[in-house]
A and B are shown apart, each in its own frame.
Chain A
Amino acid sequence: MKISKKIITNLKSGGVDFFLSVPCKLLANMITILENDKDIYYSTIPREEEGMGICAGAYLGNKLPCIMMQNTGIGNSVNSIVSLLQLYQMPVVFLISYRGTPGEPVGAQGGMASVTEDILKTLRIPMLNCNNEEDLDKISTFTNHAKVIESPVAVMLNFNLMNND
């Protein structure tokens, strides 16, 4: 819970005030925190691509949105990232539980894990890889950077970091 609290605190201090999630067990503690946080908007959503649209609308209304999802959600969302968020230059924070990284017990997660960073590189989305607690201190500045460059950014939470929370 300590790590989840720190992530949410740092996202909020970086300006995030609108959260959506497609769940992951590694995100579960953060979802519990957000469900009880009256200062921000939070909702579950059924699918990541739809969430990109909701985030775009929330940005138009002056929010800094964050969509929480597994890395598989990037695969579900490529066109909406390129032809909506990037085309209109909309800052959105992707908070990604990076399934398939070391510690992962489910072998089948390895496939999307092996292509996730290549996809994000191809999309030219800045990435912050978080492997330990110290890395989380960079989240606030990185989040604010999304606003400055008017672009989506990706915060990657590796399996062992979150599994130990």
Chain B
Amino acid sequence: MNRFELLNLLQETIQQEFVVCNIGLPSQELYKINDRSNYFYMLGSMGLASSIGLGLSLTINKNVISIDGDGSVLMNMNTFATIGNRAPANYTLLIIDNGSYGSTGDQKTFTNERTSLKDIAAGSGCENVIECSGEETNINLKKALADKDNSYVIISKINSGNVPIKPIPLNAVTIRDRFRKKIGLVSYL
């Protein structure tokens, strides 16, 4: 299973939820599969998907899912410490770990070698850290969203590989405003 197939598989679970999606191909694939106003597509700031979702989850009483990647989260590893100490129960971090920097040509990341995101998350204080296959991801994500008492970190181990795709044709403020409208904060759209 690659990322495009996994994102397809997850739609029934995530399409009603607030999702912050990682920059580059993850967002472009998500847009192509099922564009939703409750999906916040990152157009810059690689590494911060987990942090943006965390900030949102601290301020609204709804489920928030950050979809991150192994390469991206390795850029912002302090995020695990903040999540381990501060994440509220409505927060779920889903790391799609395909062992590669997909958007830049599938160069390998350190999760291919000795680095375990699961161990980093657990050592940082995150509870409910689940490492699973792509096939098992949907059921674990459903469990995380249904649990109103705990936050989760799910690391989905899949294969690298991308589909031919174009940049997202939405500008940043449009993404911002339609997302905030869905939260109930924008009335003019």
Q: Which residues of A contact B (CB under 8 A)?
A: 18, 41, 43, 45-47, 49-63, 65, 79-80, 82-84, 87-90
B10 within 8 A of A: no
A18 to B77, CA, bound (A): 23
If A46-B82, A49-B76 touch, whether A57 touches B54 (CB-CB below 8 Å) is: yes
A–B Cβ pairs within 8 angstroms, 22 of them: A41-B58, A47-B76, A47-B78, A49-B48, A50-B82, A53-B47, A53-B50, A56-B45, A56-B55, A57-B56, A60-B40, A60-B55, A60-B59, A60-B179, A61-B59, A62-B59, A83-B44, A84-B44, A84-B45, A87-B172, A88-B172, A89-B173
**Closest Cβ–Cβ distance, residue B45 to chain A (whole Å):** 4
Instruction: Give B64-104 interface residues, CB cut-off 8 Å to A.
Output: 64, 76, 78-79, 81-82, 86
Chain B residues contacting A61 (CB-CB under 8 Å) are 55-56, 58-60, 183
Residues of A within 8 A of B151 (CB): none
Q: Which B residues touch A49, using CB under 8 A? A: 47-48, 76
Contact of A80 among B45, B57, B59 (CB under 8 A): B45
Does B118 sit at the interface, judged by CB under 8 A? no
Cβ of A80: which chain B residues have Cβ within 8 Å of it?
45, 48
What chain B residues lie within 8 Å of A65 (beta carbons)?
55
By the criterion CB–CB under 8 Å, are A50 and B78 in contact? Answer: yes
B172 contacts A54, C-beta separation under 8 Å: no
CB distance from A22 to the nearest CB of B (A): 10
Name the B residues within 8 Å of A54 (CB-CB): 51-52, 54-55, 58, 82
> B44 contacts which of A18, A47, A62, A79 (Cβ < 8 Å)?
A79
Chain B binding site: helix, strand, loop or mixed by DSSP? Answer: helix
B52 with A56: CB separation less than 8 A: yes
Asked whether A57 lies within 8 Å of B185 as measured between CB atoms, the reply is no
**Are B183 and A46 in contact, with the CB atoms below 8 A?**
no
Listed residue (B56, B57, B79, B81) with the most chain A CB atoms within 10 angstroms of its CB: B56
- B51 in contact with A57 (CB, 8 Å): yes
Contacts of B129 in A (CB 8 A): none
The answer to whether A46 and B55 touch across the interface, beta carbons within 8 angstroms, is no
Within 8 A of A (CB), among B20-59: 20, 40, 42-45, 47-59
Task: Tell me whether B183 and A56 are in contact (CB under 8 A).
Answer: no
Known: A57-B56, A61-B59, A88-B175; 7 extra A-B contacts, CB below 8 A, are A50-B76, A53-B54, A54-B51, A54-B54, A60-B179, A60-B183, A84-B52
Going nearest first, the 9 A-B pairs with the smallest beta carbon separation are A57-B55, A83-B44, A53-B51, A61-B59, A53-B48, A57-B56, A84-B45, A54-B55, A46-B78
In the complex, which residues of chain A have a beta carbon less than 8 angstroms from the beta carbon of B59? Answer: 18, 41, 57-58, 60-63
Chain B residues with Cβ under 8 A from A52's Cβ? Answer: 45, 48, 51
Are B55 and A55 neighbours in the complex by a CB distance under 8 Å?
A: yes
Do residues A53 and B81 form an inter-chain contact, with CB atoms below 8 A?
no
Residue of B with least CB distance to A79: B45
- What is the CA–CA distance of A47 and B175 in the complex, to the nearest angstrom? 26
Check A57 against B78 for contact (C-beta < 8 Å).
Answer: no
Chain A residues, CB < 8 A from B76: 47, 49-50, 53
Expressed in whole angstroms, the Cα–Cα distance for A43 and B49 within the complex equals 19
User: Given the complex, which residues of B lie within 8 Å of A79, measured CB to CB?
Assistant: 44-45
